[in-house]
């Protein structure tokens, strides 16, 4: 059996979750003469941990889990990837300015779409050459895509 040591930071981050689990264990009755207490406890833990994770990760947690699963598939297929950014050229900077104009004009007309917002965020990221600003723009770009997926899910929910 392999044991994994947690750093003090990891331990601190897990304390609230551990408290949820401890409370569920304390509040789940064990009925003498019954052999279903493990099932009852397991169900209670599942519900309580899911509620905790929903509070911590927010309503986009299922989408972010899908993104994480896709990242795992990519790593499994291609291994760790380390490529140059390929961003920040004058053409990309021009494209970003144009995408902002097109998106703003559509918004002014009340005709903005997810595609236009996504195009703008992506173009702004592609225009950056500074790694810190590029990273910030990529996070904004990813957040827009997650919001777009959430909107699709709401629209298509049955």
97 and 54 belong to one structural domain: no
Q: pLDDT tens digit string along 11-24?
A: 888 788 888 888 88
100 and 51 belong to one structural domain: no
Cα 46–chain centre separation:
21
148 and 96 belong to one structural domain: yes
**Helix or strand holding residue 133 (H, E):** helix 131-156
Counting the structural domains of the chain, the total is 2
Q: Which structural domain range is residue 34 located in?
A: 8-58
Single out the residue of 141, 135, 95, 133 nearest to residue 115, CA to CA. 141
User: Look-up: residue for tokens 């599942």?
Assistant: 46
111 and 151 belong to one structural domain: yes
54 and 102 belong to one structural domain: no
Domain annotation covers residue 25: yes
Rounded distance between C-alpha atoms, residue 54 and residue 62, angstroms: 9
Q: pLDDT tens digit string along 119-156?
A: 999 999 999 999 999 999 999 999 999 999 999 999 99
Q: What is the pTM of this model?
A: 0.65
Domain annotation covers residue 104: yes
């Amino acid at each position: 059996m392999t044991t994994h040591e947690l750093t003090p930071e990891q331990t601190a981050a897990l304390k609230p979750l551990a408290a949820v689990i401890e409370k569920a264990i304390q509040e789940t009755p064990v009925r003498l003469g019954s052999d279903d207490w493990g099932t009852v406890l397991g169900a209670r833990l599942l519900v309580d941990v899911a509620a905790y994770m929903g509070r911590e990760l927010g309503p986009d947690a299922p989408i972010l889990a899908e993104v994480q699963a896709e990242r795992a598939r990519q790593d499994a297929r291609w291994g760790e990837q380390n490529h140059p950014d390929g961003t920040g050229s004058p053409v990309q900077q021009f494209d970003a300015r144009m995408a902002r104009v097109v998106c703003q004009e559509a918004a002014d007309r009340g005709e903005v779409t997810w595609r236009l917002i996504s195009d703008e965020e992506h173009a702004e990221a592609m225009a950056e050459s500074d790694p810190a600003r590029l990273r910030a723009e990529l996070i904004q770009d990813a957040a827009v895509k997650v919001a777009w997926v959430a909107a699709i899910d709401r629209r298509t929910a049955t």
